[in-house]
Structure 1
């Protein structure tokens, strides 16, 4: 039986009979079932703010904590949390129409760039001052700066993150982003912002796309569409951010002698797949129903992967997150929200 060592994800060798492909279905079926259940829950009031991906990882964590996992389910769970994750990230690129982002104007692009650079630099610096694990701080920072869970799981393998760190970062950002979205909804009438600028604020500062969609709804069609567009601009910047972080954290991918291994080289091939799908959508060759199909499939595959990730974590692991990590996440979000307000005041 193949075990999943801490800090890495392995896939059983396909020539190991009777293991290999024969052991994949049980774990895959479990993760798919949890993702389907999460989709149902996400349709309920309030839970819709969290989104299906966050609920999936939570269901996985709860399942692992209250029920025993069949030992032969491990390979399928690993397959879901690794390969289906990559497939979901690649398909996520179909959401982006790079022309629309460019047409949104220099101000929107400038806001996205400033938000990401500031958030990454500030939160990683704060994590260092508070003695938070370097990799964990980077994951929390990238989840806050770009697009929550999807950004975290995309960057995690590039910086040598352990699966526990990935899951804890996702959970931390999910909870904080949900609270932030609810706060935005209640505070919107008192912000003295028109629908467009409120949409810019929500899209530039909230974590998950689900958070942005929920928070933008009180501002009507203008606010919602603006928020989503600004948010997708941040998602588009996942590509250069991944490359930069992969390079800066390259020591995590070196062997014991500090020598690079080709299979650990920090080039995120699946991120280039993400870019390719973005370019396909930008050309307009796909009909709208195909774009929607790929988008929905991307969300579902990422949800299945999140369920698989959650199934490797127990509730006791959340004690490891530490108060300083929470402080980094909370202070980082407050600073991000404040920066968003400042940028709107200066640019609009």
Structure 2
């Protein structure tokens, strides 16, 4: 690792991914691109950089490091976005809704994907992104699904596919929910519950929730962050289940549970952000730094994509996640109208 950090290849990878992350954040400020979000834009920019293949190949070793370590650092810092007091004040109903949405959507999407013949890892990643919080969930769950060196390339393809699926579906359903708004006759709180409880990325929930006014936006964010909070326990449960399902607890690792330690950092960051007097400006800066690192990890992922394989393997996973998203939307509409 020290040799890598001292090499020019690492700094080339940092420069390329940092450029994609910053440009993605800038582009996400435009109205039509805001719905897509900075992380997905960084991924797309990384994919575009493959046009300059000699440069990408030269930076390949550093790209692998960034997609792994910077990802974990970004998720830890993202914890500062979670205010635990606000979540507690949202009430038991909101927390219960988040638990039902996350557990139910992950299970449903996974079952549908497997019925359609989608590989186990891709099914899990697409289900996690659909049920929890989009790209960040895909990349947070992925380390819990061990792969051999021979499977490393396929694992990266699965990650990109899952991110692409939740990005496209999240954008489509954002537009659908905005179109449904005049027809559903919801209160601002109900509309916020619907958008925060059903949409995939935080950016999607913000974009749709803001259409209902300040109350709707605040409710959408809190509801969405209730789902984000479940990323840590979901990662632990999925990791344990995956290990047992695939009989990975061999003699070398029979007692080694797949505990995502960086998720502990995520929870610790949320505790610090909630109870320490850091100030709004500091918290905002830490969250921006989180998205900067996550954007760099997404760009690194995009720079190592195999486009041909993605085109061949994505259709059935997209169908499964899309079907589950439709069911999720109907469920959240009924719950928000009946209980909020």
Shift of 1:71: 3.0
| Local SS of the residue matching 1:50 | coil
In structure 2, what is the equivalent of residue 158 of structure 1? 144
**1:142 aligned to which of 118, 125, 128:** 128
Alignment partner of 1:231 is 2:228: no
Alignment partner of 1:184 is 2:182: no
What root-mean-square deviation, in Å, do the aligned CA atoms of Structure 1 and Structure 2 show?
2.0
8 A contact 1:253–1:261 mirrored in 2? no
| Aligned positions, number | 332
The list of structure 1 runs, each at least 4 consecutive aligned residues, that deviate by more than 6 angstroms after superposition, is: 252-255
| CA distance in 1 between partners of 2:225 and 2:56 (Å) | 39
8 A contact 1:160–1:252 mirrored in 2? no
In structure 2, what is the equivalent of residue 113 of structure 1? 99
Shift of 1:260: 4.5
In structure 2, what is the equivalent of residue 170 of structure 1? 163
Q: How does 1:1-348 map to 2 (within 5 A)?
A: 13-15=1-3, 21-22=6-7, 23-65=9-51, 67-160=53-146, 162-250=155-243, 258-261=250-253, 265-348=257-340
Change (3 A) 1:265 1:51: same
TM-score, normalised relative to structure 1: 0.90
TM-score, normalised relative to structure 2: 0.92
Change (3 A) 1:149 1:70: closer
| CA distance in 1 between partners of 2:52 and 2:174 (Å) | 30
| CA distance in 2 between partners of 1:96 and 1:37 (Å) | 25
8 A contact 1:61–1:314 mirrored in 2? no
| Local SS of the residue matching 1:160 | coil
8 A contact 1:64–1:314 mirrored in 2? no
Q: Which runs of 5+ in 1 are unaligned?
A: 1-12
Shift of 1:252: 8.2
Change (3 A) 1:254 1:298: farther
| CA distance in 2 between partners of 1:263 and 1:153 (Å) | 25
Q: Which runs of 5+ in 2 are unaligned?
A: 148-154
| Local SS of the residue matching 2:59 | helix
